[in-house]
Copies of this chain bind each other. A is one copy, B any other.
Amino acid sequence: MNNFKLHAPTDFVFGKEAELQVADMLKKHGATKVLIHYGSGSVIKSGLMQRVEDVLNAANISYVKLGGAQPNPVDTLVYEGIDLCRKENVDFILAVGGGSTIDSAKSIAVGVPYDGDFWDLFDGKTIEKAIPVATILTIPAAGSEASDSMVLNGTKGGKVLKRGAGSSHVIPVFSLLNPELNYTLPAFQTACGVADMMAHVMERYFTTVKDVEISDRLCEAILLAIITEAPKAIKDPNNYSARANLTWAGTVAHNGSCGVGRIGDWSSHNLEHELSALYDVAHGAGLAVMFPAWMKFVCETDLDRFVQFAGRVWGVDTFGDKKAVALKGIEEMEKFFTSIGLPINFEQLGAKKEDIDKMVETLNINVGDTFGSFKKLTMDDARKIYELAV
């Protein structure tokens, strides 16, 4: 096990009506002027925004609002949010929505106190401060409600970019998680969220670090819970306990707790980002396509780990040829993705083999010549993985 630091200070309120505690939590955490950031009209249509505003008004908490955050959040809105926060002396950002809204909020939060183009902070410049961010989560998937990271789309020099950045300064100060808010999520979006949270766990699970039994087991625990609960939520969208178990699984998948003492490998996220930047497909759907392909390409790097994954997570009989067991585990995962309505290849996703050149080109801009840690990958490898996904 590697040395590690872990500081997961997010203050959670979880359960029915959790959002009604927003004023108490804002006061507890010192907010005086709040930007409420949200996405499309769904949080308005559902009545959530009205409930939040009613609570803030009753508590005399001053706020401004900025909507328009999109799936795969974009930089234009971030510039707008930064200007608004500066003009209104906002000292706290409350994101109401899913991962994209939260990531957009985090990007605004780091941009406000930064004296330059905020894209610098996605280009490797250290994030030294940020306005505090809190969340009311409506979609369990990205884990951004407790993570130290964010992803953003934009254009720079004519290229479409999808970049990630991270800092302890963007870990939400508090998050209010009411699983009932997920009842209106369509089955496909629920499934995409499931793939995203599973990816967050698996990207930590496949590590070259040895002797990590406690975090192996924690990773497996989260995956096992997701595999049990996801089909229930998809079959019955109003199944509270399935929604609740999935919501918390999504949070612990990405708050750092299951990745302690190990080095993760985020290649599948990197590979997928080119798909969602190019086709604007749901991130989770792209992950369901890219993760099995990545696994097939890298599994011989550590067959024992893939055998453990197959056995403990997918219940595969682990006797016999290791490669066969490993592939059987991957196949079971593909079957699971298919069973909850996710694509597992380019054709099902709507991606095109002819675009692989473009994907590799942009990937190269985004990650450099090599990427990955479980197995270090070149652009040639990336091309082969994309081909395996066709």
Contact B218 A214 (CB under 8 A): no
Contact B252 A14 (CB under 8 A): no
Encoded as 1 (CB less than 8 Å from any B CB) or 0, chain A from 235 to 250 comes to: 0000011101100110
Q: Which residues between 255 and 312 of chain A lie within 8 Å of chain B, taking CB atoms?
A: 257, 260-261
Contact B6 A12 (CB under 8 A): yes
Mark the stretch among A40-48, A99-107, A221-229, A318-326 that contacts chain B. Answer: A221-229
A112 to chain B, nearest CB (A): 24
Q: Which residues of B contact A228 (CB under 8 A)?
A: 213
A185 in the interface (beta carbon within 8 A): no
Contact B244 A252 (CB under 8 A): no
When all copies of this chain in the complex are counted, the total is: 2
Q: Which residues of B contact A217 (CB under 8 A)?
A: 220-222, 224-225
Q: How far is the CA of A257 from the CA of B255 in the complex (A)?
A: 12
Contact B260 A214 (CB under 8 A): no
Count of A residues near B, CB < 8 Å?
44
Encoded as 1 (CB less than 8 Å from any B CB) or 0, chain A from 196 to 235 comes to: 0000000000000011111111101110110011000000
Contact partner, A9, options B9, B18, B252, Cβ 8 Å: B9
Q: Which residues of B contact A14 (CB under 8 A)?
A: 3-6, 260-261
Contact partner, A1, options B8, B222, B245, Cβ 8 Å: B245
Q: How far is the CA of A261 from the CA of B224 in the complex (A)?
A: 18
Contact B257 A214 (CB under 8 A): no
Contact partner, A3, options B1, B18, B241, Cβ 8 Å: B18
Contact partner, A257, options B18, B240, B257, Cβ 8 Å: B257
Q: How far is the CA of A8 from the CA of B7 in the complex (A)?
A: 9
Q: Which residues between 1 and 45 of chain A lie within 8 Å of chain B, taking CB atoms?
A: 1-16, 18
Q: How far is the CA of A127 from the CA of B180 in the complex (A)?
A: 34
Contact B218 A220 (CB under 8 A): no
Q: Which residues of B contact A257 (CB under 8 A)?
A: 252, 257
Contact B1 A211 (CB under 8 A): no
Contact A15 B4 (CB under 8 A): yes
Contact partner, A245, options B213, B221, B245, B249, Cβ 8 Å: B213
Q: Which residue of B lies closest to A260 (CB)?
A: B248
Encoded as 1 (CB less than 8 Å from any B CB) or 0, chain A from 97 to 141 comes to: 000000000000000000000000000000000000000000000
Would you list 26 pairs from A and B whose C-beta atoms are within 8 A, ordered by A residue? A1-B15, A1-B244, A2-B15, A3-B15, A3-B18, A4-B14, A5-B11, A5-B12, A5-B14, A7-B12, A8-B9, A9-B11, A211-B241, A211-B242, A213-B241, A214-B221, A214-B225, A214-B252, A215-B248, A217-B224, A218-B218, A218-B225, A218-B252, A221-B221, A248-B260, A257-B257
Q: Which residues of A contact B (CB under 8 A)?
A: 1-16, 18, 210-218, 220-222, 224-225, 228-229, 240-242, 244-245, 248-249, 252, 257, 260-261
Known: A9-B11, A214-B221. 11 other contacts (CB 8 A): A4-B14, A5-B13, A7-B10, A14-B260, A212-B245, A213-B225, A217-B225, A218-B218, A218-B221, A218-B225, A257-B257
